[in-house]
Structure formats: structure tokens, C-alpha cells
Amino acid sequence: MIPPGNSSDSISALRLEAIKAALTGSRKYWPLTPRQIYYLLVGKGQAGRALVDYASFTALLWSSLRDGRLPARSVWEPPPDIRTGGAWDNQDDFLHAELDDLLWGYRRNLLQGQPRYLEVWLEKPDLADFFGAITVDYCISTVVCPRSPGLNFFNDLRRRLADLPPGRSGVPGQRPEAVALYFGDFDADGPDDLVEFQEALRAQGDIWDINLKRVALTRKIVVDRDLPARFSASPAGEVIHPGTPPQTGQEFELEALEPRSLAAILRRAVELELDMALFENQKELQAREINALAKLRADVLRRLDDLLPES
């Protein structure tokens, strides 16, 4: 393990090299959250599990991003909350921008006819982009859900469920089964928050027609993958040996799963709920439609060329 503390430039250099190696090994999943990077180091014995270790790690991470020692695109940050003016300098700029986008970006609903309507519910807002980059491949929404849902959450969910298209049930007007795949932290000594969430949906939101399924974290995943417990305020974290059941009071974070493992678990959970033959058929239809739209776009642009004012 890299020694704790910030007193040595050589130690900081070792830590930075460990961070770079962790990022390089998970390049496919950029940007990673700071916690994801930290747990990659913990899993390789390159970082301690005390609060002071995490604090020194984040200090080095952000300073390295600021001075360019780490690529900015590799680490997730909350997006800036900006309301732009949204104006054009002139009509020609607007016209050319619109033509550049003409008939691009078509995506077919690949879930047409599926027996289930799926959403992925995520406890950790910082992981929404990570999850969304995967669920978009399946035309499935990633929903950040608070532990204590409010009226807006209930109302939005109720609207989504009310607008479900018919599924492949063979019964006219029958909608698909609604399923939410839940991803969140695991508390070895805590209540089953998914049960509490389901009860809140029914008691507070009067929502009965969606089935919640916990995918991760689970006790089995924690034990089978020997995940480290959440960092603590103690000078040194407890050692957990492979196969040791979680101890009372231990908390485990979703980010402790390696990015490739988390992505694989998410994809497998989604595909287990879908009729994948039907899904692949929809992808083939989408490919043909995209080709047809590309030909139409080329034809329309040729016809418009004579109508456009000269630049």
C-alpha cells in the first residue's frame, strides 16, 4: 500500500501514477466519479480506507486535474447550472446550423412490443451519466431516486406509467408489466430500503403497478466480490477477508464495484428482463430506417441548394 500522508513529494508521485493507471484501465467508462477511482485504488491495495486517506486522495485528484497532469474528461464533475441566452447573430448562421442537423439523430424505440416496461433507478446522482451512457443503448431511462421520494417524484412516475404503450401480451389494451431495476448502496445492519421505497410508493404515492427489483448492491455481491466497506473516520480501515460476511454497521458503496463489473451487471440485468430476439429485430429495422433517412437527407439538400441564398 502507498503510505498515508502528504509530507513526501515521492509519495504524491506514487499516488498520482496509481490514479493514472486506474484511469487507463477503465478508459472505456470515462468519465469516472472520484469515488469510483478511489475504490479502484483501494481494491489494488494502493489507498487506505480511512477518511484521511480519501481526503488526501481527492486533494491530489483535483490539484492534478487543475494543472493538467490528469485529463479533464476522465473525471466526472457536476455540470454547470447555466441558463443561456440562446440567440443567433444572424439568420444565415441559424439556417446553416439547421441544415447541418437536418434528419440526423433518429433513434427508433427499440422496446416496441416488449412484455415489460423497464426503468433503472439509481440512488447515487453522481453515477447518472455512467448509467445513462449504458441504458440509452436499450432506450431505457435512468431515474435518480431519492431515499425519501417527494410529490414531484410520485407525479412524474405516475405520468410515465399512465403513458405506457401496449406490450406483446396478445390482449388488446393490456399494458406491459412495469419494472424498476434498483441500484444503490448496501448497509449490512440497515433496513431493506427497497421494501421501504415500495411501501412509500403505495402509501404516499398510491402507485401499485410497478415492481422494484434490487440488482446491486446485494449481500451476495458484497461477499462474492470481496468489496471494501465504506471509508471510516478511523486511522485505518478494517481488513475484510474474501468470503467474509458483512459485519454489523458496515456500509458498502455502489462505486466499490469496478466500472466494468458494474456495467456488466447493469447490462445483464436489463437483458434478462427483455425479449432480446425482439430487441435485435428492432435494431435491424432501425439500421434500415437510418439508411433511408440518410438518402432522403442527401436528396433534400440537393433540392434546397438551388433555393438557398449565396453566402
What's the DSSP call for residue 142? E
The answer to whether 89 and 286 are in contact (CB under 8 A) is: no
How large is the average pLDDT for residues 296-309? 88
pLDDT computed for residue 297 by the predictor? 95
| Statement: residue 228 has pLDDT above 60 | yes
3-state DSSP call for residue 121? strand
| Statement: residue 304 has pLDDT above 80 | yes
| Statement: residue 169 has pLDDT above 70 | no
How large is the average pLDDT for residues 51-72? 95
| Statement: residue 241 has pLDDT above 50 | no
128: part of which helix (H) or strand (E)?
A: helix 128-135
State the pTM of this model.
Answer: 0.88
Q: Which of 35-49, 93-107, 243-257 has the lowest mean pLDDT?
A: 243-257
What's the DSSP call for residue 127? G
Q: Which three cell numbers stand for residue 279?
A: 430487441
pLDDT computed for residue 211 by the predictor? 92
| Statement: residue 174 has pLDDT above 60 | yes
Give residue-wise pLDDT tens across range 9-21.
777 899 999 999 9
Cα separation of the two ends of the chain: 63
Give residue-wise pLDDT tens across range 83-126.
888 899 999 899 889 999 999 999 999 999 899 999 999 999 99
How large is the average pLDDT for residues 215-243? 76
| Statement: residue 150 has pLDDT above 50 | yes
Total residue count of the chain as it appears in this document: 311
- Hey, where are the domains in the chain? 9-74, 116-276
Residues 78, 125: Cα–Cα separation, whole Å: 9
Q: Which three cell numbers stand for residue 98?
A: 439547421
Q: Which of 42-51, 108-117, 198-207, 233-242 has the lowest mean pLDDT?
A: 233-242
pLDDT computed for residue 240 by the predictor? 45
pLDDT computed for residue 287 by the predictor? 97
Rounded to the nearest integer, the mean pLDDT of the chain is 88
pLDDT computed for residue 64 by the predictor? 96
| Statement: residue 249 has pLDDT above 90 | no
| Statement: residue 265 has pLDDT above 90 | yes
How many C-alpha atoms does 169 have within 13 Å on its Cβ side? 13
Give residue-wise pLDDT tens across range 102-112.
999 999 999 99
